[in-house]
């Protein structure tokens, strides 16, 4: 039992305590704040598990942007706290508790009984790393070995945007998402929104660029860019774009579109769908990642902005 | 030479932990929003600053050290802005609670 | 008592807590939070399996990591869509409960449905 194990036990205990508090606390706003703290501490757990790319993603998208969208909803729904109906009956809650406890116990037993020469795909990843010329294995897997998953994930993001936009009322159809934010143009928020985004944009692009050889990548960089855009919107310096604007839709489709085009190119000129010719693999992957960065940043920002609420004419 | 580095690291991180601890105690024990913000800003500025200072001898080179310091700068910027916004809202809501 | 065991048990507990919160909490926003908790527990289980598969110079098997990154982004987009639905329900019906008996007087949607 060395000091690292003590630290891990303490971290796991704090995370579990936060999870219990998030479920049990009566006030929704407190539950949201607890969830954000939980997300950040889970990112620490990911670092302890030696998965730094996932830690970046969890901190940026899971805890960060997820927390922002939950906070916004909790703030808007504050008035409904008083009119909640009573919860499910004691019998339902008891059976839910028994069910959850048995599932958790089954998972715990599975963890303790996992097979001992653990099956792993790491040697295959190393063996095939020459195909792309990048040394970050997670980026290799995301962009080359399981590129199909990533392409389809981009399409899922697009479907989520379509779902959110379809919730606009008739009058606001194709309009601007969210309310018009007003902030004191000489105030602190406007100051931050002028000072931070240039640095944030550089950080986001850097995270994309360094993802080829070190932890990073398009998703994490896209989350940073999206948060810079949202900061500028929240300070009232720009307004959200109307969702029917053509350039916005082109950016949204650009990422998966380029991915699909490269895939079809692999089908026509190469061995299979999404097969990269070894000579051009790195430039192709980098160009796909740049398009993905723009699309992810725009998509995440728009998902946070919500359904259109104001008509575009105004 | 590495012993001196380790001593600086342990001293810096311990000082940082002390300020984080003090900030947390302040958050839990102070009576209203403004005083709690005051306690938290100590954790941000001094606590993180000492931790970064303690970690600087362990970095690989100038670039990594500059990255650590820029992380501290970003946290300072964000913390100062958010503290100001929260304090103004607390004051405007009247009670400062 | 290695890292894998400690965090594996923590992940199993998070799954159980999330499931309980999803079933037992009456408010939809709390259900969404519990669903996210459940999802993060499942992702941690992937991470545990990846950690046990550490080989070839990596500390963690890259394939589960890539799957989890994809999963985190998709879970976020699902949460954003669920919250957009919830806010729209609140805008139209005036309450966030899915229970039609207990709906308050429905707000007239000023922009017209």
Q: Check CB contact of C84 with chain A, cutoff 8 Å.
A: yes
Domain boundaries, chain A: 120-310
Angle between helix axes C28-52 and A28-48 (nearest 10 degrees) is 10
Domain count, chain B: 1
- The model carries a pTM of 0.91
Domain that holds residue B38: 2-92
For chain A, list the strands marked E by DSSP: 176-177, 308-310
User: Is B32 contained in some domain?
Assistant: yes
Q: Which residues pair with A308 in a beta bridge?
A: A177
Supply φ then ψ for residue A127, to 5 degrees: -65, -35
DSSP label at residue A308: E
In chain A the first and final C-alpha atoms are separated, in Å, by: 65
Encode chain A (314 residues) as per-residue pLDDT tens digits.
788 899 999 999 999 999 999 999 988 999 999 999 999 999 999 999 999 999 999 999 999 999 999 999 998 888 776 666 677 888 999 999 999 999 999 999 999 888 888 888 888 888 888 778 888 999 989 988 888 999 999 999 999 999 999 998 888 888 888 888 888 888 899 999 999 999 999 999 999 999 988 999 999 999 999 999 999 999 999 889 998 899 999 999 998 999 999 888 888 887 788 888 777 888 888 899 999 999 999 999 999 998 898 887 75
CA distance A302 to A279: 37
Q: Do A189 and B74 touch (CB under 8 A)?
A: no
By CA distance, what is C13's nearest residue in A?
A104
In CATH terms, is domain C3-99 a member of 1.10.287.3510? yes
Q: Give A119→chain C minimum CA distance, Å.
A: 6
B74, B77, B85 member nearest A189 (Cβ): B85
Q: Which two tokens stand for residue A259?
A: 């991915």
A61, A73, A112 member nearest C86 (Cβ): A73
CA distance A22 to A31: 5
User: Is B97 contained in some domain?
Assistant: no
Q: How far is CA C105 from the centre of its chain?
A: 31
Q: How many Cβ contacts (< 8 angstroms) between chains A and B?
A: 14
Q: Check CB contact of C9 with chain A, cutoff 8 Å.
A: yes
Domain boundaries, chain C: 3-99
The region of weakest confidence among A50-64, C32-46, C52-66, C88-102 is C88-102
Please identify which residue in the block is written with the tokens 């010719």: A277
Reference A45, options A10, A96, A80, A81; nearest CA is A10
Q: Which chain A residues are closer than 8 Å to B81 by Cβ?
A: 188-189, 191-192
Q: Which residues pair with A177 in a beta bridge?
A: A308
Angle between helix axes A3-24 and A28-48 (nearest 10 degrees) is 160
> What count of residues does chain A have?
314
Give the confidence band of B10 by pLDDT, cuts at 50, 70, 90. very high
DSSP label at residue A61: I
DSSP label at residue A136: -
Enumerate neighbours of C (3 or more CB pairs within 8 A).
Answer: A
The region of weakest confidence among A207-221, C9-23, C85-99 is C85-99
Q: Are A111 and C48 in contact (CB under 8 A)?
A: yes
The answer for C 44-63 residues in CB contact with A (under 8 A) is: 44-45, 47-63
User: Is B62 contained in some domain?
Assistant: yes
């Amino acid at each position: 039992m060395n000091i690292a194990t003590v630290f891990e036990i303490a971290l796991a205990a704090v995370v579990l305590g936060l999870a219990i508090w998030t479920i049990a606390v009566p006030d929704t706003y407190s539950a949201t704040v607890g969830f954000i703290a939980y997300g950040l501490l889970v990112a620490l757990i990911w670092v302890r598990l030696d998965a730094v790319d996932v830690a970046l993603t969890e901190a940026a998208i899971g805890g960060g942007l997820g927390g922002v969208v939950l906070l916004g909803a909790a703030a808007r729904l504050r008035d409904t706290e008083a009119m909640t109906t009573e919860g499910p009956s004691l019998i339902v809650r008891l059976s839910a508790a028994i069910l959850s406890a048995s599932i958790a116990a089954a998972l715990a037993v599975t963890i303790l009984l996992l097979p001992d020469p653990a099956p792993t795909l790491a040697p295959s990843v190393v063996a095939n790393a020459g195909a792309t010329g990048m040394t970050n294995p997670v980026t290799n897997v995301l962009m080359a070995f399981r590129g199909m998953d990533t392409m389809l994930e981009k399409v899922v993001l697009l479907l989520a945007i379509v779902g959110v936009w379809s919730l606009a009322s008739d009058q606001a159809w194709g309009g601007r998402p969210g309310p018009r934010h007003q902030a004191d143009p000489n105030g602190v928020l406007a100051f931050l929104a002028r000072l931070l985004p240039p640095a944030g944009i550089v950080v986001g692009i850097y995270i994309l660029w360094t993802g080829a050889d070190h932890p990073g990548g398009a998703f994490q960089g896209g989350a940073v860019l999206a948060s810079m855009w949202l900061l500028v919107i929240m300070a009232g310096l720009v307004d959200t774009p109307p969702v029917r604007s053509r350039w916005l839709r082109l950016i949204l489709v650009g990422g998966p579109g380029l991915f699909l085009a490269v895939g079809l190119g692999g089908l026509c000129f190469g061995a299979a769908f999404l097969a990269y010719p070894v000579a051009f693999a790195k430039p192709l992957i980098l160009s796909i990642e740049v398009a993905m960065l723009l699309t992810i940043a725009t998509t995440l920002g728009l998902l946070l902005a919500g359904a259109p609420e104001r008509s575009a004419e105004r | 030479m590495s012993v001196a580095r380790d001593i600086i690291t342990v001293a810096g991180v311990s000082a940082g932990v002390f300020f984080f601890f003090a900030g947390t105690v302040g958050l839990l024990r102070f009576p209203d929003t403004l005083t709690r913000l005051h306690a938290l800003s100590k954790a941000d500025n001094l606590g993180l600053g000492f931790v970064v200072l303690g970690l600087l001898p362990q970095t690989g080179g100038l670039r990594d050290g500059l990255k650590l310091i820029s992380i501290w700068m970003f946290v300072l910027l964000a913390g100062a802005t958010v503290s100001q916004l929260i304090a103004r809202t607390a004051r405007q809501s009247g009670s400062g609670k | 008592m290695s890292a894998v065991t400690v965090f594996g048990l923590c992940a199993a507990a998070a799954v159980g807590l999330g499931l309980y919160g999803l079933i037992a909490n009456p408010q939809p926003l709390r259900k969404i939070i519990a669903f996210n908790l459940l999802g993060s527990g499942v992702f941690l289980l992937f991470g545990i399996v990846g950690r046990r598969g550490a080989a070839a110079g990596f500390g963690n098997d890259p394939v589960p990591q890539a799957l989890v990154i994809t999963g985190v982004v998709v879970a976020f987009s699902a949460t954003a869509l669920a919250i957009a639905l919830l806010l729209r329900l609140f805008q139209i019906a005036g309450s966030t409960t899915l229970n039609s008996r207990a709906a308050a007087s429905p707000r007239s949607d000023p922009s017209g449905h």
